[in-house]
Amino acid sequence: VRRLLLAALLLPWAAPARALEWVPIGGITALGGLHTFDGQSGNFSGNVDAAWAPAARLDDRWALLPSARAVYQGTRQLNDVLGTATVAQQSAEARVGVRAVYGDPASRWRFKPTFAYDVELLKETASENWGQGLFDQRRLTVGGEVELLTDEPHSIRAGAGWFTVDYPNYTSLESQAALQFQGQSLARELVGDKVLDRQGWQFSLSGDAALGRRLVVEGKAAVVWSDFPRQPVVDEGGQFETQERQDVMTDVALSIRMPHEWNADLRALGAVEFGLTANTSNQNGYDATRGQFLPGFYDYAQWRAVPSATVIIGPVRRPVTATLRVGWKLRQYDRRPPQDATGAYGSGSLSSTEWSTGLSLSYPMAKRLSLIFDLERASASSNQQFQAFYQYSYETTTALAGVRWDW
């Protein structure tokens, strides 16, 4: 029976096997290194990122791209949430996805339905166990993208998708108290339990084009509308309303790249990226220790600019590349007042600025195999002086070295 079952399962795959052409693509990056945060050092650890995708050409119009990705990060990097106090943080991610690509060869249009399921695990201290992290999350995304080929390789893309994210280990303490100590008035009415769980829609628009003969411009915009069905909005008195939290996060980026060639073995790429990330939310904050209502607590805008210069030395297929980048980020909470060292609220709006520098080097060792060196340093400052919970001002460095293998 088992053999018959197996044969039945394999039959649909066997039928189109002749027409199907598949090409495995993927890569693996393994890096080891150190992360320091305000003088605290994590242990020597490593980061591994492996992706594998057996791309299949079903016919001239259809291609299918199932993919699997696994990431382990033992060394924190600048794109993490750095103001937390855990240099020993480790994270792991497993993602599977399927992306179909439909396009008539005679048409400029491409249609790409997508599906992805992603699990992220986070160990914030060495004593935690995998799978029990407070911020472990599971994400399901279903959507699609339409691409209009303008002047290859340039195109314009628009996407839309529905998602749901849940944090299996996160339940608000207040809701637990409501259950555990019922009758003792420890919880507010309408308290939510899985307050971080969210679902919603995501939209994106992106494109790139040549700007004259020497410049390439690329633009991206993404809007994520999130509904938190179990997180009620906090009112002026610190109590819950029946309305649930809703956020709209917008991320816009524009980058300009300018390649330059001195000779066959020495080329350069100058680039600069400007970006804005903004969040608006109907949720408010409430400081319960002094009855202070904080409307628009979650609204923020973050501006960024990242100029970079890359030097490319050697043959086109296997060059040595060295990139130097400088990053600037300004995060501003227009409606959140800054606090002094004890937590007293001042006037104005909370802001923080981060300057960063990064140096990356890729050195080809063999076909598809490269040595990678990466050094990042960031310095952040803020007018928020109360930093008992989250550190807004810090110095941090990450140094990584390892190999990258593509196939």
Partner 1 sequence: MSDAGRLCNKNVVDGGGGPVKLMKMRRVILIVLLAASAISADAAVLREAEGLVQVRPEGSDRWQPAGKLPRTLASGDSLRTGFRARAAVALAAGGLLETGGNTQVSIDEAPRGGVVVTLLFGTARLSVRALGARLFELRAPTATAQARSASAAWRTTVGGGGSAVFEAEEGLLGLEDSRGGALRLGAGERAEADLAGLHEPTIVPAPERARRDDFAERMRRELTLDSEIDAAQRLVADEARREEYELGHVLTDASGGLVRAEQYVVRLSPTSFEFVALNGSRGGGLSWYSWTGVFDLPLPRNLAPVFAVLPGSAGAPAPWTLTGYTSVISNGIDSLVASASGGHQVNVNGSADPTEAVSVLYDPATDGFANVAGQAVYQVLFDRYGLYSDGALKYGWTGTNLQSYADRIPATTNDPLTGAALSSPLPGVTTNTTFPDAGSVTQTVLSSYSDGTSISVTNSAVPFGGGVATRASFGGATSGSAWQSGLLQSTLQQSATATEFGGRSIRVLLSPRILVETGGLP
155-194 residues near partner 1, rule: CB under 8 A: 157, 159, 161, 163, 165, 172-174, 176-177, 180-181, 185-188
**Minimum separation from the CB atom of position 325 to partner 1 (A):** 18
What six digits make up the tokens of 19? Answer: 């027409």
Question: Looking at beta carbons only, is 325 or 394 nearer to partner 1?
Answer: 394
For residue 36, what are the β-bridge partners? 41, 397
**Minimum separation from the CB atom of position 51 to partner 1 (A):** 7
**Minimum separation from the CB atom of position 19 to partner 1 (A):** 14
Q: Which SS3 state, helix, strand or coil, does residue 147 take?
A: strand
Amino acid letter at 100? A
Question: Looking at beta carbons only, is 32 or 150 nearer to partner 1?
Answer: 150
What six digits make up the tokens of 323? Answer: 């990139």
**Minimum separation from the CB atom of position 160 to partner 1 (A):** 10
Per CB under 8 A, 89 contacts partner 1: no
Among 15, 21, 130, 243, the residue binding partner 1 under the rule CB under 8 A is 21
Among 43, 182, 239, 243, the residue binding partner 1 under the rule CB under 8 A is 239
Among 85, 156, 209, 233, the residue binding partner 1 under the rule CB under 8 A is 85
Among 72, 201, 293, 405, the residue binding partner 1 under the rule CB under 8 A is 293
3-state secondary structure 338-365: CECCCCCECCCCEEEEEEEEEEEEEEEE
Binding footprint of partner 1, residue count (CB under 8 A):
113
Q: Which DSSP string corresponds to 98-144?
A: EEEEE--TT-SEEEEEEEEEEEEEEE-STTSPTT--TT-EEEEEEEE
Per CB under 8 A, 291 contacts partner 1: yes
| Separation CA 73–CA 45 (nearest Å) | 8
Among 3, 12, 18, 127, the residue binding partner 1 under the rule CB under 8 A is 127
Per CB under 8 A, 224 contacts partner 1: yes
Instruction: Residue 66: name the closest of 25, 96, 95 by CA.
Output: 96
Question: Looking at beta carbons only, is 249 or 371 nearer to partner 1?
Answer: 249
Binding segment for partner 1 among 10-18, 145-153, 353-361, 370-378 (CB under 8 A)?
145-153
For residue 244, what are the β-bridge partners? 232
Question: Looking at beta carbons only, is 6 or 243 nearer to partner 1?
Answer: 243
Taking CB under 8 A as the rule, which mask of x and - marks residues 201-220 in contact with partner 1?
-x-x-x---x--xx-x---x
Pairing of β 266-281 and β 300-313: antiparallel
**Minimum separation from the CB atom of position 4 to partner 1 (A):** 35
Question: Looking at beta carbons only, is 252 or 371 nearer to partner 1?
Answer: 252
Instruction: Region of 265 please: left (phi>0), alpha (psi -120 to 50) or beta.
Output: alpha
The pair phi, psi for residue 8, each rounded to 5°, is: -65, -40
Instruction: Residue 272: name the closest of 230, 217, 316 by CA.
Output: 217
Instruction: Residue 203: name the closest of 254, 118, 145, 117 by CA.
Output: 145
For residue 348, what are the β-bridge partners? none
Per CB under 8 A, 262 contacts partner 1: yes
Per CB under 8 A, 242 contacts partner 1: no
For residue 207, what are the β-bridge partners? 156, 219
320 within 8 A of 314, measured Cβ to Cβ = yes
Binding segment for partner 1 among 10-18, 103-111, 305-313, 357-365 (CB under 8 A)?
103-111
Among 96, 249, 399, 403, the residue binding partner 1 under the rule CB under 8 A is 249
Q: Please, which of residues 366-405 interact with partner 1 by CB under 8 A?
A: 386-391
Per CB under 8 A, 57 contacts partner 1: yes
208: Cβ–Cβ under 8 A, 6 or more apart, which residues? 154, 155, 216, 217, 218, 219
Per CB under 8 A, 344 contacts partner 1: yes
Per CB under 8 A, 289 contacts partner 1: yes
| Separation CA 86–CA 76 (nearest Å) | 10
**Minimum separation from the CB atom of position 14 to partner 1 (A):** 22
Binding segment for partner 1 among 6-14, 107-115, 304-312, 352-360 (CB under 8 A)?
107-115
Beta strand residue intervals within 74-108, DSSP E: 90-102
